[in-house]
Amino acid sequence: MSEPPPRGAERDLFRDTWVRYLGYANEVGEAFRSLVPATVVWLSYGVSSSYVLADAIDKGKKAGAVPSSEAGRSSRVTVAVVDTFVWQALASVAIPGFTINRVCAASLYILGTATRWPLSVRKWTTTALGLLVIPVIIHPIDSSQWSLAHHCPPPHRSVDFLLDSSLRKLYPSVEKPSSS
């Protein structure tokens, strides 16, 4: 589980508790793809996608609770929901799911051509490799996970960089409150 939030900060159910790991259910599903029916893998994507949607809704509600004009409130809620949904969809579902899928497919293929192991052994080996790769790929993808685990700034913030370079440039600028 991640570290508790700093003093005075509200604990975020979707980022500061075990609930966060529901976002990675599809990675486990992908690791087991060679051993389980496809419906089990798709169910794991359902769990991860539900987590992403719930976090986006939560962040939208929190953004809407901040007092401001109706126009500012609507814009802030929209940005919070869209940014959270896209960030989580990429960092928790799409990128890691694709990566684990390809690692497992490649390892099953290589084991099939380079060894004479029985199919069941190759499938279990592929699953083990897929599970072992999960903690390795999370860190470059999910910068907050890296920061929590290592208590330092992340060396690479791929999803943040991607969004900062694209979608986040489209967001309306938030007016700063006047100092008078």
Q: CA-to-CA distance for 59 and 79, rounded, in angstroms? A: 10
Q: How far is residue 141's CA from residue 4's CA, in Å, rounded to a whole number?
A: 21
d(CA 73, CA 79): 10
pTM for the model? 0.80
Task: With beta carbons less than 8 A apart as the criterion, state whether 83 and 167 touch.
Answer: yes
The 10s digit of each residue's pLDDT in 73-109 is 888 898 999 999 999 999 889 999 999 999 999 999 9
Model pLDDT, residue 115: 96
- In degrees, rounded to 5, the angle at the alpha carbon of residue 150 between the alpha carbons of residues 164 and 163 is 10
Q: What is the pLDDT of residues 33-66, one digit of tens each?
A: 999 999 999 999 999 999 999 999 999 999 888 8
